[in-house]
Protein backbone atom coordinates (compact mmCIF):
# COMPACT_ATOMS: atom_id res chain seq x y z
CA UNK A 1 0.00 0.00 0.00
CA UNK A 2 1.23 3.51 -0.78
CA UNK A 3 2.46 5.80 1.95
CA UNK A 4 1.28 9.44 1.92
CA UNK A 5 3.82 12.19 1.51
CA UNK A 6 5.20 13.78 4.64
CA UNK A 7 4.29 17.27 5.73
CA UNK A 8 5.96 20.07 3.78
CA UNK A 9 8.09 22.45 5.77
CA UNK A 10 7.08 26.09 6.05
CA UNK A 11 9.94 27.17 3.78
CA UNK A 12 8.99 24.71 1.04
CA UNK A 13 5.31 25.66 1.08
CA UNK A 14 6.08 29.39 1.10
CA UNK A 15 8.58 28.95 -1.74
CA UNK A 16 5.92 27.22 -3.82
CA UNK A 17 3.37 29.91 -2.98
CA UNK A 18 5.83 32.67 -3.93
CA UNK A 19 6.38 31.11 -7.36
CA UNK A 20 2.63 31.20 -8.00
CA UNK A 21 2.38 34.85 -6.99
CA UNK A 22 4.44 36.05 -9.96
CA UNK A 23 1.62 37.44 -12.06
CA UNK A 24 1.51 39.75 -15.03
CA UNK A 25 1.26 43.53 -14.61
CA UNK A 26 -2.18 45.05 -14.76
CA UNK A 27 -3.41 45.94 -18.25
CA UNK A 28 -4.65 49.47 -18.84
CA UNK A 29 -7.13 50.49 -21.53
CA UNK A 30 -8.34 53.89 -22.73
CA UNK A 31 -11.63 55.21 -21.36
CA UNK A 32 -14.20 55.56 -24.12
CA UNK A 33 -15.66 58.69 -22.58
CA UNK A 34 -12.69 60.88 -21.60
CA UNK A 35 -9.75 58.99 -23.21
CA UNK A 36 -7.94 58.68 -19.83
CA UNK A 37 -6.08 55.42 -19.03
CA UNK A 38 -8.03 53.07 -16.75
CA UNK A 39 -7.97 49.43 -15.72
CA UNK A 40 -10.27 47.19 -17.73
CA UNK A 41 -13.57 46.17 -16.09
CA UNK A 42 -13.36 49.15 -13.67
CA UNK A 43 -15.09 52.52 -13.68
CA UNK A 44 -12.91 55.39 -14.89
CA UNK A 45 -11.24 57.36 -12.11
CA UNK A 46 -11.40 60.64 -14.03
CA UNK A 47 -15.02 60.75 -15.24
CA UNK A 48 -16.70 57.79 -13.46
CA UNK A 49 -18.03 56.25 -16.66
CA UNK A 50 -18.38 52.51 -17.14
CA UNK A 51 -19.95 50.69 -20.11
CA UNK A 52 -21.26 53.91 -21.63
CA UNK A 53 -23.03 55.21 -18.52
CA UNK A 54 -22.22 57.23 -15.41
CA UNK A 55 -21.40 54.52 -12.88
CA UNK A 56 -20.24 56.58 -9.91
CA UNK A 57 -20.14 60.25 -8.94
CA UNK A 58 -16.83 62.04 -9.29
CA UNK A 59 -15.62 64.46 -6.61
CA UNK A 60 -14.74 67.79 -8.17
Does the residue 33 lie in any domain?
Answer: yes
Distance CA 26, CA 56 (A): 22
Distance CA 23, CA 56 (A): 29
Does the residue 37 lie in any domain?
Answer: yes
φ, ψ (nearest 5 deg) of residue 29: -125, 170
How many domains does the chain divide into? 1
Residue range 8-55, pLDDT digits in tens: 899 999 998 888 887 777 889 999 999 999 999 999 989 999 998 998
Handedness of CA 43, 47, 35, 38 (dihedral sign): negative
Q: What is the pLDDT of residue 36?
A: 94
Full-model pTM: 0.55
Rg, Å, the chain Cα set = 22
Q: What is the pLDDT of residue 1?
A: 72
Does the residue 17 lie in any domain?
Answer: no
Q: What is the pLDDT of residue 14?
A: 92
Cα-based angle 18, 24, 30 (whole degrees, multiple of 5): 150
Q: What is the pLDDT of residue 38?
A: 94
Supply the range of the domain harboring residue 41. 27-60
Amino acid sequence: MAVPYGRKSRAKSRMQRAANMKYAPKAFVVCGHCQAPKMSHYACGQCGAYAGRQARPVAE
